[in-house]
Amino acid sequence: MPKGKKKGKFEHRRTELPYSSDEDAGIDMTNDNCSETSGQSDLRSNHDEAENEAQEKFEEKVMEIIDALSARSNAARAAALVALRSALQRRYLAVLLSGQRATLADHVTKALRRGKDGEKKAAAAVAPILALQIGEDGVEEFMQEVRPALAAAAADKTASLETRTECCSALAILCYLMEDDLAEVLEVMRLFETIFSGSYLKGDGTVKVSGAVVEEGGWHAAAIDGWALLLALTEPDHARSLLKEHPPSFARLADLLEACSLEVRMAAGGALAIAHERVTEDEEEEYSGWDRAGEELVLPRLDELARDSHKYRAKRDRKVQRATFRDILKYFEEGDVPELRVRIGTECVSCDTWSTRATYTALAASLGAGLQSLALHSSRLRAALQLSADVPLEIPQRPGADKRTKLQRHLQNTAACKARTVARNKNRDKRSAALAI
């Protein structure tokens, strides 16, 4: 140490490295020759590789689920069917399933014919989305096997009511989307009428109030909804002849408004609106061939249901019933239908008729989250939703759209949550101090 300089008491030798703003900012100086374009290309290629790897893992998982459909345990097969439906809702897998069409149809058919309630219900729930996923080439064989099994399960009195209800809904969706033979559609409609005929009035005009009829309300309502959905496929002339020559007539449908089950009454109201819409679609001034007297008789009953305030019914039931029948009554009196607009991806579905409203409601309930992904690939589904045949290839990017990574969004949300917590704690301290004074 040089003479005359002493080490201070609190002075220590510096051991830090020289300060570098680049290092502090986390900049990698070894990559400063990389152009912006090549950097973006590398990021894009890495993202594509990650997506391909995720897709491969997902497909391997789906194949494991398909293998589990052959398990010996009924509960294991039911769980596999539920998992398969969940997977089909997430991604479009037509290429993967193209080689499994016969196997999947066989598994679903066996589950519907031989399985217990849980397995039957799971098989019915997966049938519509599976039919859309396997592609056009395998639809005919799939329908030939699955449709009869679904029809038998829908009318099976030994199955639970929940299972029969699910089978009715799935059968209606399958026939609406996939069935091209009108004779088969009419046969399914006759089956539905046989089911909900249990809610007709008695011979003396009184309402059936037995416990069995009340419990079967959901099952009968699903059959009514399915019948109305398939009626929307017919031409106006054909719909008129069906309502005149085959059950149920317009008067029989009106009798269902007296049913003790709220679900049956609401389903009957929707069926009446669809029936009226079908038979009067091509008639502007005259109701040629239509029972105008029956329409006039149903208006007072619709008005009563739209203003029902009986206290022996649950408050929620009264509220839902009044809201539903106000719209139906307004349609019969003024011809107005409450418009429903729904966005599916970048496209918009406009439901301005009772038929389109019923179609969207049934598809959304059956397909769930898979409605959006399948709408980009299935021509039958696009036709049912009245979307254009041209599928949007790219999702347009909004100006100033958020391009942050998932990690960046997570960090920002965490920081915002922490800031809210700190502010909330300060306010609590102030309130505690005020109370203490």
By the 8 A CB rule, do 307 and 322 touch? yes
The conformation of residue 342, written as its DSSP 8-state character, comes to E
Q: Residue 84 has what pLDDT?
A: 96
By the 8 A CB rule, do 372 and 345 touch? yes
The conformation of residue 17, written as its DSSP 8-state character, comes to P
Does the pLDDT value for residue 33 go beyond 90?
no
Q: Residue 413 has what pLDDT?
A: 83
By the 8 A CB rule, do 193 and 227 touch? yes
User: Maximum CA pair distance of the chain?
Assistant: 125
Q: Residue 265 has what pLDDT?
A: 95
Average pLDDT, the chain: 83
Query: Which of the four pLDDT bands, split at 50, 70 and 90, describes residue 300?
Result: very high
Does the pLDDT value for residue 38 go beyond 60?
no
Q: Stretch 190-201: mean pLDDT, rounded?
A: 95
Query: Which of the four pLDDT bands, split at 50, 70 and 90, describes residue 14?
Result: very low
Query: Which of the four pLDDT bands, split at 50, 70 and 90, describes residue 214?
Result: confident
Q: Residue 26 has what pLDDT?
A: 42
**Cα distance between residue 143 and residue 179, in whole Å:** 8
Q: Stretch 15-38: mean pLDDT, rounded?
A: 44
Does the pLDDT value for residue 7 go beyond 90?
no
Query: Which residues are within 8 A (CB) of 294 and not within 5 positions of it... i.e. 6 or more apart?
Result: 249, 250, 251, 254
Q: What is the dihedral of CA 89, 94, 96, 100, to 10 degrees?
A: 100
Question: What does residue 159 show for φ and ψ, rounded to 5 degrees?
Answer: -80, 160
**Cα distance between residue 391 and residue 389, in whole Å:** 6
Does the pLDDT value for residue 356 go beyond 90?
yes
Tokens of 1: 């140490």
Helix (H, G, I), strand (E, B) or coil at 328: helix
Query: Which of the four pLDDT bands, split at 50, 70 and 90, describes residue 118?
Result: very high
Q: Residue 385 has what pLDDT?
A: 92
By the 8 A CB rule, do 138 and 149 touch? no
Domain spans in the chain, listed from the N-terminal domain onward:
181-336
Tokens of 338: 């409450």
Question: Using omega within 30 degrees of 0 as the cis cutoff, is the peptide bond preceding 338 cis?
Answer: no
**Cα distance between residue 104 and residue 431, in whole Å:** 63
Q: Residue 404 has what pLDDT?
A: 64
Does the pLDDT value for residue 375 go beyond 80?
yes
Q: Residue-wise over 236-273: b if at least 16 C-beta within 10 A, else e?
A: beebbebbeeeebbbebbbbbbbbebbbbbbbbbbbbb
**Cα distance between residue 50 and residue 170, in whole Å:** 36
Per mean pLDDT, which range of 6-15, 43-52, 81-90 is the poorest? 6-15
Helix (H, G, I), strand (E, B) or coil at 66: helix
Residue 315 identity (one-letter amino acid): K
By the 8 A CB rule, do 259 and 265 touch? yes
By the 8 A CB rule, do 119 and 108 touch? no
Q: What angle do CA 380, 171, 378 make, to 5 degrees?
A: 15
Query: Which of the four pLDDT bands, split at 50, 70 and 90, describes residue 396?
Result: very low
